[in-house]
Amino acid sequence: MLRECNGSSRWVSTMIERRPFGSREALFNAADETWKSLDASDWLEAFAHHPRIGEQTNSIADREQSGVKSADDDVRAQLAQVNRDYEQRFGYIYIVCATGKSAEEMLAIVRNRLNNDPATELAVAAEEQRKITRLRLAKLLED
């Protein structure tokens, strides 16, 4: 269940070691602390478990990316192109906490982030993954 929240195997194993969590807030704090303690290879492993923005996969990400479903074909095509541009520039997929964002918002965000240097962008992507993890943990607790 934790792997569905974050694809980093070190994050998952560390979270398992830290159990039990006495409260919801303790879980979220442990998740954040663990994520921030990891290195770039762990972050990249987590990123690799995500579909590209706009890809349909029948996964939890489809619900998170629901803003893409209502986008017109032109916006979808632009998202596909900037996904390729992003991967070519940084070497991993575009990670954004898509929940509540329209396709147009995600397109504007990625275009802006393409201007980042690689170190800055890795930190930005890692923060987006942290947000995604938190939202998925919250959903897990609801279920």
Active site amino acids: 50
| Nearest by Cα to 80 from 111, 55, 51 | 55
Q: Which of 111, 5, 139, 9 is nearest to 53 (CA)?
A: 111
Cα-Cα end-to-end distance for the chain = 11
- Contact partners, residue 124, CB within 8 Å, separation at least 6: 113, 116
φ, ψ for residue 100, nearest 5 deg = 80, 5
As a dihedral over the C-alpha atoms of residue 94, residue 99, residue 100, residue 103, rounded to 10 degrees, the angle is 30
Give the amino acid at 70: S
